[in-house]
Structure 1
């Protein structure tokens, strides 16, 4: 059965590239993916596949039933883009100013669409049901996964598999990991309200820049001095704004950034300790500081049995040269919500191109052949799961 699937996917590879490049040229931001959702819907409708749009927002879910009873397997791909100007010199460069697929979601979508077509064509030979979850808004919290789940995309699902094309992992490599594989991704905003004044009379002010600088330095000590070295955490201040004339002491300043953790306990610790530092800095400087902490996606935690199963499947995929254990990534992914509801695993498909750039870079691209390997791995996992 796997060989039949692989043959169909090999024949579909050129179509996969066409779809990926079309989507790359017409990207849409999170929660604004109207045309992309319609493209996905029309693809399934043309095949005669049962498809539902507007799932949890702009999500699309298609279902293919085999001829015999069996398990229900879900496969997920995301399809939103990022607010980044595409700087690549390629024929399929983004045509939308300031918006591009800089994370591979166009490739995820193309691979899943062609996989769904192949499984649909084989439905009379298959057992079980296959749920193809095309998710909007992965890039921007609260994300699309949680609303799609609330709208029923996992109803009746026994297991879920997902992959991410990864531009810094060698092509023809599959990476897997049991347990936490991607971090919880939170953000924070801090507003310092001081008392501005003339730059020549600092004693009459409460300098928001100096207070903000104290916060930046004090917050950096939390990971090094409050978190157990055996655990992992990241705290990054990404923005510090206090825009004034050169001779004006800032009345206010705004800081924002991100916190990444794997365990719920360290996540709670970081939020509580940040509040303590903020409150202490406000007291020491006799000023007001507003602290807002926004919890984003939880950590992606892969289930042991499903991850070991995926590893065994990947080792028999034609064209895959290496199946290796991954290191945890500090990036966030709302695939976490699916894994909180049903067993499954999320793995990385190596897609390193000749000139690699990291994800979310203006020149990001990936090796397109990786889409074929991703589709084969997801497809084999879906079919083989029926006989577990």
Structure 2
């Protein structure tokens, strides 16, 4: 199976989530990704979280999707030469070690660009490759704290909270993939050759959250966490529970949709109240609006709320559990949950949906070193040399081939 990125060759030295997700997102659209792991230390994401019936970690199955796996000690002299051969024919190298790890291994950006001046290098780290916090260790939760996300999540009188998924690492993976494509576009247009993309894990969230900084610096307004309501509370909405125990999120993003929402929950008297003539005026009385929505929703069943909201073209969305996500008819129709033949584990399919060049799931995460032998053969190594490298502990493989 091919895709629009089928000629794009990526070397992945990443681990856990952020770097590997960048490569995985591009692999969905055909990029040829070679993931390199140490023979004695595989990516820890293989062991994080629950295991499928075959004993393989389900997180690895999706983050390792569509990738070849090469088991190589790239810090050794011979391993570095193999890495050099790979880099010379690659378009992109992805890494998310602490700053300085590549340099201490003898393969910093200057060396990599000596080998391949057109190589795009994505470097993901906790706080970036420079600055006073350069060497401070960090994980995704630290980034969520630094970006302000945790500060804005939770109840007003409660502690800051992390979201229910690795938001910092995941958004960094997405931003990393974007950075790669921007750099490759610049290379194609001749405006730049190989670039180094320096991406701190907190920066993707900082950019995607966006509005708190201009709110403070432009309007002297400091958003605060606000429980079931929005931190800025600029439009009506929030999380509410129906009389039959179903959670709904209600929202309205404009004066027109807000009027429809108010008419649905409180009739003409509420919708025509002069306090709610505009969103700006409404924001001054948002507690009244929230209480009115809450009173209506809590006194009606899900079916009743949906019927009333439908008549008024107002928006209320049911909060789906993971079980409900896997059976939702719209998600099924979109083909957003997929797998491969013979594999019971399902994953989220390629996004976005492309009209002419759609993405594809080719395989889920493979065993460590599953492609070591075939990759080295493509580089010109014969079986005797491969065996010698294996005996020296510089490579390992699990390709099912008889090596006796």
Give the number of the structure whose alpha-carbon radius of gyration is greater. 2
Question: Does the pair score TM above 0.5?
Answer: no
Range into which the TM-score falls when normalised by the shorter chain:
under 0.3
TM-score in terms of structure 1 length = 0.25
TM-score in terms of structure 2 length = 0.24
- RCO higher in structure (CA 8 A, sep ≥6): 1
| Structure with the largest fraction of helix | 2
